[in-house]
Structure 1
Amino acid sequence: MPMEPTSIIPLAAFDIENGETTPVSDPWPAIGAAQGYRWLHLDLNDPDTRAWAKASLPEIAARALGQSETRPRCERLGDGLILNLRGVNLNPEADPEDMVSLRMWITGNAVVSARIRKIWAVDAMRQEAERGHAPSTIGQFLAALTYGLTSRIERVSLDLEEQTDDLEEALADGRRVEADRLSRLRQTVIKLRRFINPQREAIAALAGLDGWILTPEELALLRETSNRTRRIVEELDATRDRLSALQDHIEADRAHALSRNSYVLSVVAAIFLPLGFLTGLFGVNVAGMPGTATPMAFWFLTLSSLLCGIALFAIFKLSKWL
């Protein structure tokens, strides 16, 4: 149902035919008006974007495009496709594991994508389109997009593996491993995997859409990306397990050190217990205390206490308590 155009400014708007791009100048662009296919990339921070989606797209697709929180998914809806994916957050002062969402509605001659925060894989495709080059078909567009998203995720995953290697080497060399660093790394891996696993399922579902607009060659490219995503999930699982093992090792070392220190303190207390009894006994101020009239009595008591301490230490050593 048409509505009054209040003019939106897409982040990207191109008609693409045989790999060549033509910018769309209409401030209120329609979908499905291109000879090849039309790509509209929208900013959900623009308040008019949701109104345009509501007027131009099927109701369910418009709601999916405007959701504040999304999860990777791939679902057919009539002749179109709802596809939600995630990309690592490479924006300045952002954490990569705080993944940004890309929402898409795809038909036989149009791709409508929307985001809240910048997605570098999509931005790279936009820059290439501005230079006049783009994937020739929608299938190639999806293959290039998923490849770009997966490549950047893979780089972050490899960086996490390298950081884990550094921690393992530090622990093997006897160097101190900061617990905060280990904890942050574990949280990063867990948060990243939380989105990558459903993304693997979404790309696998996309690669299984036989009989739609995708050619066998394009499906093969998507299956390769699906396999790469599966490997990333497996690498994240392995990294998570390695970090858990490191955490367990550090906690075991701490428990051992605490037990050893407690044991030493207990032995020291046991050695000084009889000495404390002697000093307490000879410190009482009552008549009849032996040695009070002997000048050398203090030194005899000191020597006796020292010999008593040495004897107790020797007994503990022979008993293998030390």
Structure 2
Amino acid sequence: MSGTAWCRAADGGVRQLPIGAALTQDAPFLWVHLATNTAKAQAWLRDDAKLSPFTVDALTAAETRPRAEKIGQGAFVNMRGRTEEELDSTDMLASIRIWATKGRVITVSRKRLVALDTVVEQMTAGELRDPGDLIAAFAAAITTDLDPVVADLGDRLDDCEQGLRADRVFELRRIVTRVRAEAITYRRFLSPQRVALERLAALPGDWLAEDDRAHLAAAADSAARMAEEVEAIRERAALMHEALTDLRAEQLDQRSLVIAMVAMVFLPLTFLTGLYGMNVKGLPYAEAPWAFDAIAGACALIAAGIVIWFARRHWFRG
């Protein structure tokens, strides 16, 4: 079973421990992180950590969404953050499941979050003194890591809006569709994550200090800001997609107009040449030596007349 534990002693020193020796430590603050949710992890949580079946199921569930709820004297929190490991295109954020009570925190993740390294550095440096500090650190690190990703979505959409041209319709449509899909995916988790952080900050319990609640509230506010930004990006992407659709429709209309005008020019000429191309007797002036020149001149005059009529009605301007 893959995992690590950190123990903060009364003097403020922090030691890294193997999982097997973690629960034997008598320390003010202990953090155990399991990097898997397999059957071995479930057995350790149930048999060694002595957690309830409900808590074990919550920590090792395959499908999760951000939430926070009180469990006994502690709380269960699930948050989503960015990971560099491969994920499903419809589920772009990995989960970190946290069970916290006074003096002890157990976290479980199947994919390694980018924010985990930041939290581990803070823990090793002795900056995290209790479970509230740890959860607030995770919330802040996840939000800080996601902020530039969300900003990049907006920048990509800005580039599409500035480069909106008829010859880039298909290229821009692919980019806008991708940005919209990512925004929808992030919105699925950012909005409930804001609610979860707000709920966690309001949970009763002496294991959350007032400064921890303030940090959680700040992280919830940042998550709310990002959720609003992602929603704005999604709406902008929808409008951009409509603009691209209109631009494409306008292209087709212009091309159809050109085809229609060409057809209108050649329609009477085709009729005239087809009529005189029939292999029957009795056609007027069929034997006259000047007939071909006359018919060619008539075709030219008809074509010129139709073109002039189109020009006066401003059809060539679309």
The aligned amino acid for 1:153 is: L
Offset at residue 133 of structure 1 (A): 2.8
Distance across 2 between alignment mates of 1:101 and 1:275 = 72
- After TM superposition, list the pairs within 5 Å mapping 1:74-113 onto structure 2: 74-91=68-85, 98-113=92-107
Matched, 1:206 2:203: no
> Once the 2 structures are TM-superposed, how far is the Cα of residue 273 of structure 1 from its aligned partner?
1.3
What TM-score results when the alignment is normalised by the length of structure 1? 0.89
CA contact (8 A) 1:96 1:156 kept: no
2:7 to 3, 12, 15: 15
- In the comparison of the two structures, how many residue pairs are matched? 311
User: SS where residue 163 of structure 2 aligns?
Assistant: helix
- 1:253 corresponding residue in structure 2: 247
Identity of aligned residues (%): 30
Preserved contact between residue 200 and residue 226 of structure 1 (Cα < 8 Å)? yes
Find the counterpart in structure 2 of residue 160 from structure 1. Answer: 153
In the alignment, what sits opposite 2:137?
A: 144
Name the amino acid aligned to 2:34: L
Rounded to whole Å, the distance in 2 between the matches of 1:28 and 1:256 is 70
Residue number in structure 2 paired with 1:3 = none
Structure 1 position 91, deviation (Å): 3.2
Q: Is the 8 A contact 1:41 1:114 kept in 2?
A: yes
- Over the residues paired in the alignment, what is the CA RMSD in angstroms? 2.3
Which of these residues, 113, 122, 126, is aligned with residue 120 of structure 2? 126
Contact 2:122 2:128 in 1 (8 A): no
Q: Please tell me whether the aligned partners of residues 97 and 188 of structure 1 are also in contact (alpha carbons under 8 angstroms).
A: no
Could you list the per-position Cα deviations for residues 170-200 of structure 1 after superposition, in whole angstroms to 9, with x for gaps in the alignment?
12x7772511111111101111111111111
Any residues of structure 2 matched to 1:9-48 within 5 Å, and which? 9-10=2-3, 12-17=4-9, 19-25=12-18, 27=20, 29-30=22-23, 33-44=25-36, 46-48=38-40
Match of 1:49 in 2: 41
The answer for the alignment partner of 1:73 in structure 2 is 67
Cα distance, 1:241 vs structure 2: 1.4
Q: Is the 8 A contact 2:132 2:208 kept in 1?
A: yes
Given the alignment of the two structures, is residue 219 of structure 1 paired with residue 213 of structure 2, yes or no?
Answer: yes
- What is the CA distance between 1:298 and its match in structure 2? 1.3
The answer (yes or no) to whether the contact 1:22–1:132 under 8 Å persists in 2 is no
Identify unmatched segments of 5+ residues in structure 2. none
Contact 2:36 2:110 (8 Å CA) reproduced: yes
Structure 2: distance between partners of 1:93 and 1:76: 30
Q: Give the structure 2 partner of residue 115 of structure 1.
A: 109
In 2: Cα distance, 1:101 partner to 1:227 partner: 20
Gaps of 5+ in 1: 1-7
- Partners in 2 of 1:97 and 1:185 — Cα distance? 14
- Is 2:97–2:107's contact at 8 Å kept on the other side of the alignment? yes
Greater helix proportion: 2
- Rounded to whole Å, the distance in 2 between the matches of 1:164 and 1:97 is 21
Q: For 1:80, give the aligned amino acid.
A: G
Give TM-score, length-normalised by structure 2. 0.90
Query: Taking structure 1 as reference, are residues 273 and 244 closer, same or farther at Cα in structure 2, changes over 3 Å only?
Result: same
